[in-house]
Amino acid sequence: MAIAILLIFVLGYLSIALEHTIRINKAATALITGVLCWTLYIVFAQDKEAVSESLAHHLGELSQILFFLLGAMTIVELIDAHDGFELITQRIHTVSKRKLTWTLAVITFFMSAVLDNLTTAIVMVSLVKKLVTKPNDRLMLAGLIVIAANAGGAWSPIGDVTTTMLWIGGQITAGNIIVKLILPSLVCLLVPLLFMQLVFRGQVRRPSETAGGIVARPVPREGKIIFIAGVLILLMVPVFKTVTHLPPFMGILIGLGILWVLTEILHGEKDEAQRATYTVAHALRRIDTPSVLFFLGILLAVAALESTGQLALASAWLNETLGDLDLIAISIGLLSAIVDNVPLVAATQGMYSLEQYPTDHYFWEFLAYTTGTGGSVLIIGSAAGVAAMGIEKINFIWYLKRIAWLALLGYFAGALVYILQHRIFG
């Protein structure tokens, strides 16, 4: 039974990794993989009631992640529907390549920590299309944005799905992860940024209005209100958890409720057609539902591996083969450049218990950094990279030649800073 479940998981994983080749959405593959793993488990199990109880237990844990993502994605869509992000993008006026790289990198780094790396990458890469005409310049900036978005998401409990998973799972706390990872994450961005300054020089050409450039329009009052309220709500989620001791998804849901009421008040006097695009119902239709279903499927599959004891065996093998926590975390991070980091982190959470490595342990913090930033090494290694690839049609080989080595330098530099920081300050 265990071998059959493991085989299904591996085949499902390969199908997810080869999504673009086989042209089957990874959400569909993940759902089939997750359900098949549990089906085999219960069919061959003697105590079927125990399997059902185990599934219910895992579902209670992973549903917290899904509801958190659902709420956060809806809030971001509401801000976008109100053109709230234009408040940031309209303030970039420089045409100097050096100044533009610094400006975009800093904005992306901190915006990713507040929103998430995927949304930030989409917003910023779309912005570059409005700011830069030359395709090669846009590609270089898009590569930088991928690195900055992943680095920015790693040090925030709400900046990356994997960091959120570790936070909700109790492996890390919000305040501690910010303090411990902000410097390594910043170094992970600064090293590629400094190297990029040596080759990316001169000025960019902006699209003119006559050539089809986008004319900036003022952000309406409602857009400003929703942007400020949405960002404040996202920032208050960790505070809500600390004060109430309720899970983070409760904070995001009450925040969504507040924003829902606010949009109803702001657009209450408009007719149905005018207010349709500004409602929460419209935002819910626009969120990336396949991604939510993908997380559900893959987390179910990983939970099956944990329940059948496969992850414990994998943990023992890693400990015997590598032995060192630093090597284990760095290896998992590099592996996330090839395969999706969500199942990797989910598997690691199952392999190592909180009794073995308690909350805010060195290993969990380092894992948050490595899996959050390791995906930048390849364009397909992170959600931010895949989004940029789709918007700018970035070629895999081009990214491998021009950006991958920069991301790798930043990854190892940040990892070294984290290790030294821990040994010096504890």
Q: What are the tens digits of pLDDT across the range 221-262?
A: 888 899 899 889 888 888 888 788 888 889 889 999 999 999
**Cα(293)–Cα(27) distance, rounded to whole angstroms?**
6
Return the HEC string of the chain: CHHHHHHHHHHHHHHHHCHHHHCCCHHHHHHHHHHHHHHHHHHHCCCHHHHHHHHHHHHHHHHHHHHHHHHHHHHHHHHHHCCCCHHHHCCCCCCEHHHHHHHHHHHHHHHHHHCCHHHHHHHHHHHHHHHCCCHHHHHHHHHHHHHHHHHHHHCCCCCCHHHHHHHHCCCCCHHHHHHHHHHHHHHHHHHHHHHHHHHCCCECCCCCCCCCCCCCCCCCHHHHHHHHHHHHHHHHHHHHHHHHCCCHHHHHHHHHHHHHHHHHHHCCCCCHHHHHHHCHHHHHHHCCHHHHHHHHHHHHHHHHHHHCCHHHHHHHHHHHHCCCHHHHHHHHHHHCCCCCHHHHHHHHHHHCCCCCCCCCCHHHHHHHHHHHHHHHHCCCCCHHHHHHHHHHCCCHHHHHHHCHHHHHHHHHHHHHHHHHHHHHHC
Q: How confident is the model at residue 211 (pLDDT cuts 50, 70, 90)?
A: very low
Write down the pLDDT at residue 81: 87
Residue 212 has pLDDT above 50, yes or no: no
Look up residue 147 and give its amino acid.
I
Q: What are the tens digits of pLDDT across the range 36-74?
A: 999 999 998 888 899 999 899 888 878 887 888 788 888
Q: What are the tens digits of pLDDT across the range 260-295?
A: 999 999 888 888 888 888 888 888 888 878 878 887
Write down the pLDDT at residue 340: 65
Q: What are the tens digits of pLDDT across the range 355-392?
A: 989 999 999 999 999 999 998 998 877 878 877 876 78
Write down the pLDDT at residue 262: 93
Tokens matching residue 343? 């199942």
**Cα(27)–Cα(301) distance, rounded to whole angstroms?**
12
- Contact between 322 and 328 (Cβ < 8 Å): yes
Write down the pLDDT at residue 216: 55
Q: What are the tens digits of pLDDT across the range 98-126?
A: 899 999 999 999 989 987 787 788 788 87
Residue 218 has pLDDT above 80, yes or no: no
Domain residue ranges of the chain, discontinuous segments joined by +: 59-425
Return the HEC string of 192-238: HHHHHHHHCCCECCCCCCCCCCCCCCCCCHHHHHHHHHHHHHHHHHH
**Cα(289)–Cα(151) distance, rounded to whole angstroms?**
25
Picking from 159, 150, 165, 191, the residue whose alpha carbon sits closest to that of residue 178 is: 159
Residue 408 CB neighbour total at 10 angstroms: 18
**Cα(263)–Cα(227) distance, rounded to whole angstroms?**
11
- Contact between 300 and 58 (Cβ < 8 Å): yes
The overall average pLDDT reported for the chain is 85
Is the pLDDT higher at 398 or at 211?
Answer: 398
Q: What are the tens digits of pLDDT across the range 292-331?
A: 888 788 888 888 888 888 877 776 787 788 878 899 999 8
**Cα(308)–Cα(290) distance, rounded to whole angstroms?**
27
Q: Which are the contacts of 54, defined by CB distance < 8 A and separation ≥ 6?
A: 307
Picking from 409, 385, 406, the residue whose alpha carbon sits closest to that of residue 153 is: 385
Picking from 334, 331, 329, 336, the residue whose alpha carbon sits closest to that of residue 363 is: 329
